[in-house]
Structure 1
Amino acid sequence: MLPSLARKSLRRRLRHAGFDTGAFGHIEKKKRWLVRNLGEKIGRVQVGSLKPCADQVTSASGFELLCSYSWRVETKKLPMTLPQANAERRSLGPRIYVPGEAPVVAQRNLPLVVGRRSTTKHYRDANIARMPSYPFEPMFQSMSVLNPGFRFDKIDLIVNRNSLRHLLRFTGGSVQENFRLDLAMIHNTLVVTPVLESVLDQGAGRGNFGRDFEDLIVRRSLRDSGSYHRAIRYNLGPLNCAVLSELDAALEDSGEALTSDDKRWMLHPNPVSVPPSELSGAFQPDDRAEKVLFGVRNRILVNKAKLWHEPRSEMALGGNGTLSKDAAELYAGRERGYRKMPQMWLGRIPFLVHGKYTGRCFTRVDVVRFATSFAAYETQIQDRLQKLVSLLETLRKLATDAAEQRCIVICNKAVKPRELRVFNHQKTPPSPLPADIRRHFWTNQETRKQDAV
């Protein structure tokens, strides 16, 4: 039980954020994470007030791969007997492999039966779970090796795919869950950091076999590797965005290797749910440029950025990288695969591997190339995409004008009409990126002066 003053403070902050504060109990406790360090309200954005931006939002201009990495799964603890071992253990942070690589979809004989449910912990966001102080830090560690010369001065937005998905859903008036985003300006770049109630994925419950499907059909070549992440740069209308996302899997030879006599594995060059007249040519990623980026083992790392902040992720060379043309989203479910289009479009993922099951048995796998339907999808939701741009521009303005250029955005799914409420922090939090990262990846002199203080 919280002390009386703490209960009153929590109730006040919950009311401030638009939440019901009836009898103090389990509901209020579950929402503490939403209102932690909540200060004064400085604005709100109602979904009805959003106007589409003037620019067309399209994926036709393509994207650029910035970096990639795999989280290492720690399987053994360092020995505790020697003093030097203890010192090493204290100094080591969570580890990433650069460039890493996604697990490969391996054809298995169907049907596949889900056996005993895995007790392995899965994270909703491994970056937040492993690096809670700096969730984007591993991305920049990877950049320091793969892309040390890239600068973010002309990047308007750094965000992860799931945050964009929340905001895109909001522009259509749909909110499936409460969410919170912490905003911070670094020079002219808006950094959007998600805040989660729990970093553990609770989705592997009864009747949900997504994680089981992944375990059944993928093969990991990189030993001790966990989730694979990549950052890509693309234009969202007039906004120049760096988008970080987890990539589920890769297809060998873009799925052609899965063609066999087993008719229960089907490769579809186009989604059957989209009329042929609405299909278009898909953007072809620059394989040569990506192979050069991944060729880190073949060059001396003389240009690697020197990053010494704490805490930090420890980097080791490992993996061969995953080419964008082979990227795939995994989905286990009875519904149409088209429901995964927001994730695929925002992450520029061309393929969906859709496992269909009855009871505990996977009886069919469809590998569908959805990239040819991106243009049709953009046309279908163009109004929402243009409102998403307007929303992001509004949030940039609110963050710029906020105290210390930091603020909190909260969405309460119970509030209608839908709105985002924006608050200052009660106490100014640390920057979402360490000073040495800001100094290296932004060349603006004013930013350098601020980070030198």
Structure 2
Amino acid sequence: MFSSSSYERFGGRGRGRGRGRGGKGWRSAAPETPRSKSPPIGPVLTTIHDSELEVDQVSSSLARITGLEDVASYNWLRAKEPTILTPGKPPKWTPTARPTKLAEDNPNGTYYRDPNAAYFPSYPMEPVVRSIFEARPDFNAQEVDVFGCGSTFGNLLRFARNVETEKPFRFLVEVVGETVFFIRRENSPKEVIADVRGYGHRFPEANTTWDADLQSSDTHQRIIRYQLGPLHTIIRFEADGYLAEKVPAKKTSASLPNREVNEDFLMSALAGNTISTHTPKHSDSLKVTRGQESVPQSTVFDLKTRSIKKKNHDTTVSEQIPRLWIRQISFFVLAYHDNGLFRSDEVTVRNLKPDVARWERDNQGDVRKLIGLISRIADVVKATPERKLEVRYRNGLGLELREQVEGVASVLPDDLATRWAGQGHRAESTDVALGNGSVDGAVGLEHDSMEIGVAQDEKIFDDVDDDEYDWDTKEDYTACSMESCNYCGHCSY
């Protein structure tokens, strides 16, 4: 058993952040804690409206995802100090054969909107980059055009598609070397979600299983790369699980050489012992432990639960397609329940790869708008003296590109930023002029695309990693109750 403090820190469910599969998000274990106010924000540099986005900047032959590749992965572990295991591995799909009545999701856990920021607020993107260099010490960072998370890219895609939403979003933008980083930003790194309802945590807990050497895992994070049209792109996202029968028999993983993990090894982590730690300079301690193996992206699935009452007019699958197109996930588990009773014949595993490819073909205009939008943001940030800015969306006001206020931490600690900026080279064949609208001559790798979409059940938050949240429109300083987190720009002391 884990201590109550560890339980609260990691969401109280052994699976990381809330996924709202059949509920309304996550309920805070400390309801008396008021929601943090919006962090301060700088003056507007320019505003982008969806009506301004051009669809003819990118040819239709380039407006697609190609060259999908696994890069790295990591699991957040339950430990006394921030600890990741890399490579990581998601839980295995192990469905129950009998009808199962489940209790609703735990109302007493602390469910973070952004677990990566909550677990390591100093530099939420640092574990991602550390994992890449652990997996690929010679990784060519200079050929990466844009680097972000599935949540931020999902927000940009909704804006490009003119999908109306009243919920604002914000993210930081920073150039490191040749790469434009998009960094998700909530009001506070430990921002929580209240009033969880449904079975979005109980169901995966009952139907997926962590391997023996991963029992201390809290969440599995994946890093993939692909070309989004002409843009060399890296995406980080959380995976719900994987299908063991889809793992190739002769090549089951992308293992790192001479890296062994056993139960004693992981127990030492839980006890707070030093195990293959890496304490980066100029940041809080991040323990990086060595994992055994990962699984191919082609085996990963996303999961949602829905009430059986909605089955006849459910649009979950079609609505999930854009989201899973970004993450390049083929398999989708959809589980219907009758007041918490799940029957095996109402739980399906679907291969939606053809549906995702069809969505991509049918929505070329929106894909071109997304590529143009990312390029325009990159143009603006590269023209700023500090090579940093912040983006805020508010309904009816467009996408505001603003100066960053003083005190906001850089995307990476100095040593890691220096390594990223100096490692590798930019080949001429891939040196696309990011943001100038020129994509002539850009080459994409052949790859079958895939897709998916987003529906809601019982007023849920479909996926914490993808949700847009209400922001306090007053530009107050946040009081996140942390000492110098470097996240908000104006910590309380």
TM tier, smaller: 0.7 to 0.9
Kept in 2, the 8 Å contact 1:331–1:337? The answer is no
Q: Which of residues 50, 71, 75 is equivalent to 2:76?
A: 71
Offset of 1:307 from its aligned partner? 4.4
In the alignment, the residues of structure 1 paired with residue 119 and residue 193 of structure 2 have an alpha-carbon distance, to the nearest angstrom, of 17
Offset of 1:123 from its aligned partner? 3.0
In the alignment, the residues of structure 1 paired with residue 231 and residue 258 of structure 2 have an alpha-carbon distance, to the nearest angstrom, of 30
Match of 1:297 in 2: 259
Structure 1 residue 394 and structure 2 residue 376: aligned?
yes
Deviation sequence 1:33-73 (CA, Å, 0-9, x none): 2xx23222110001000002323355563311111000002
Deviation sequence 1:231-289 (CA, Å, 0-9, x none): 1110111111011111111111129xxxxxxxxxxxxxxxxxxxxxxxxxxxxx9x95x
Match of 1:317 in 2: 290
Structure 1 residue 407 and structure 2 residue 389: aligned?
yes
In the alignment, the residues of structure 1 paired with residue 419 and residue 120 of structure 2 have an alpha-carbon distance, to the nearest angstrom, of 20
The more displaced of 436-445 and 309-318 is 436-445
Kept in 2, the 8 Å contact 1:204–1:211? The answer is no
Q: Which of residues 137, 142, 156 is equivalent to 2:126?
A: 137
Match of 2:111 in 1: 122
Offset of 1:298 from its aligned partner? 6.9
Kept in 1, the 8 Å contact 2:224–2:235? The answer is yes
Offset of 1:217 from its aligned partner? 1.0
Cα gap change, 1:292 to 1:215, in 2 (>3 Å): closer
In the alignment, the residues of structure 1 paired with residue 260 and residue 75 of structure 2 have an alpha-carbon distance, to the nearest angstrom, of 19
Q: Which of residues 157, 167, 184 is equivalent to 2:174?
A: 184
Match of 2:237 in 1: 245
Q: Which of residues 27, 36, 40 is equivalent to 1:37?
A: 40
Offset of 1:175 from its aligned partner? 4.2
In the alignment, the residues of structure 2 paired with residue 316 and residue 305 of structure 1 have an alpha-carbon distance, to the nearest angstrom, of 8
In the alignment, the residues of structure 1 paired with residue 54 and residue 63 of structure 2 have an alpha-carbon distance, to the nearest angstrom, of 18
Match of 1:55 in 2: 59
Structure 1 residue 426 and structure 2 residue 431: aligned?
no
Kept in 2, the 8 Å contact 1:150–1:441? The answer is no
Cα gap change, 1:445 to 1:115, in 2 (>3 Å): closer
In the alignment, the residues of structure 1 paired with residue 164 and residue 285 of structure 2 have an alpha-carbon distance, to the nearest angstrom, of 34
In the alignment, the residues of structure 1 paired with residue 140 and residue 237 of structure 2 have an alpha-carbon distance, to the nearest angstrom, of 20
Structure 1 residue 111 and structure 2 residue 103: aligned?
no
SS of corresponding position for 2:54: coil
In the alignment, the residues of structure 1 paired with residue 63 and residue 422 of structure 2 have an alpha-carbon distance, to the nearest angstrom, of 29
More helix by proportion, 1 or 2? 1
In the alignment, the residues of structure 2 paired with residue 352 and residue 295 of structure 1 have an alpha-carbon distance, to the nearest angstrom, of 32
In the alignment, the residues of structure 1 paired with residue 204 and residue 192 of structure 2 have an alpha-carbon distance, to the nearest angstrom, of 14
Question: What is the 5 A alignment of 1:295-444?
Answer: 295=257, 297=259, 307-333=280-306, 334=310, 335=314, 336-363=316-343, 364-413=346-395, 415=396, 419-427=398-406, 429-443=408-422
Offset of 1:194 from its aligned partner? 0.9
Aligned residue type for 1:41? V
Offset of 1:126 from its aligned partner? 1.7
In the alignment, the residues of structure 1 paired with residue 100 and residue 423 of structure 2 have an alpha-carbon distance, to the nearest angstrom, of 55
TM-score by length of 2: 0.68
Structure 1 residue 151 and structure 2 residue 162: aligned?
no
SS of corresponding position for 2:134: helix
Kept in 2, the 8 Å contact 1:305–1:440? The answer is no
Cα gap change, 1:200 to 1:114, in 2 (>3 Å): farther
Kept in 2, the 8 Å contact 1:151–1:442? The answer is no
Structure 1 residue 235 and structure 2 residue 208: aligned?
no
Structure 1 residue 219 and structure 2 residue 223: aligned?
no
User: Segments of 4+ in structure 1 off by > 4 A?
Assistant: 57-60, 198-201, 292-296, 304-307
SS of corresponding position for 1:291: coil
Cα gap change, 1:296 to 1:437, in 2 (>3 Å): farther
In the alignment, the residues of structure 2 paired with residue 161 and residue 419 of structure 1 have an alpha-carbon distance, to the nearest angstrom, of 21
Kept in 2, the 8 Å contact 1:55–1:238? The answer is no
Aligned residue type for 1:362? F
In the alignment, the residues of structure 1 paired with residue 288 and residue 230 of structure 2 have an alpha-carbon distance, to the nearest angstrom, of 34
Match of 1:281 in 2: none
In the alignment, the residues of structure 2 paired with residue 60 and residue 179 of structure 1 have an alpha-carbon distance, to the nearest angstrom, of 25
Offset of 1:306 from its aligned partner? 9.0
Cα gap change, 1:314 to 1:40, in 2 (>3 Å): same
In the alignment, the residues of structure 2 paired with residue 43 and residue 172 of structure 1 have an alpha-carbon distance, to the nearest angstrom, of 20
Aligned residue type for 1:47? D
Offset of 1:209 from its aligned partner? 2.0
In the alignment, the residues of structure 1 paired with residue 302 and residue 220 of structure 2 have an alpha-carbon distance, to the nearest angstrom, of 12
In the alignment, the residues of structure 2 paired with residue 425 and residue 362 of structure 1 have an alpha-carbon distance, to the nearest angstrom, of 48
The more displaced of 140-149 and 345-354 is 140-149
Identity %: 22
Deviation sequence 1:80-112 (CA, Å, 0-9, x none): xxxxxxxxxxxxx40011112101110202422
Cα gap change, 1:203 to 1:233, in 2 (>3 Å): farther
Aligned residue type for 1:216? A
Unaligned stretches of 5+ in structure 1? 1-28, 78-92, 256-284, 447-453
SS of corresponding position for 1:63: strand
SS of corresponding position for 2:329: coil
Structure 1 residue 97 and structure 2 residue 85: aligned?
yes
TM-score by length of 1: 0.73
Cα gap change, 1:48 to 1:58, in 2 (>3 Å): closer
In the alignment, the residues of structure 1 paired with residue 43 and residue 193 of structure 2 have an alpha-carbon distance, to the nearest angstrom, of 32
Deviation sequence 1:121-154 (CA, Å, 0-9, x none): 3333221111122111001221232111102111
SS of corresponding position for 1:425: coil
Kept in 2, the 8 Å contact 1:230–1:246? The answer is yes
Offset of 1:295 from its aligned partner? 4.5
Unaligned stretches of 5+ in structure 2? 1-33, 262-276, 426-493
In the alignment, the residues of structure 1 paired with residue 169 and residue 84 of structure 2 have an alpha-carbon distance, to the nearest angstrom, of 28
Cα gap change, 1:31 to 1:120, in 2 (>3 Å): closer
Aligned residue type for 2:72? C
Aligned residue type for 1:64? E
Offset of 1:203 from its aligned partner? 7.2
Q: CA RMSD in A?
A: 2.9
In the alignment, the residues of structure 1 paired with residue 71 and residue 330 of structure 2 have an alpha-carbon distance, to the nearest angstrom, of 18
Offset of 1:297 from its aligned partner? 1.7
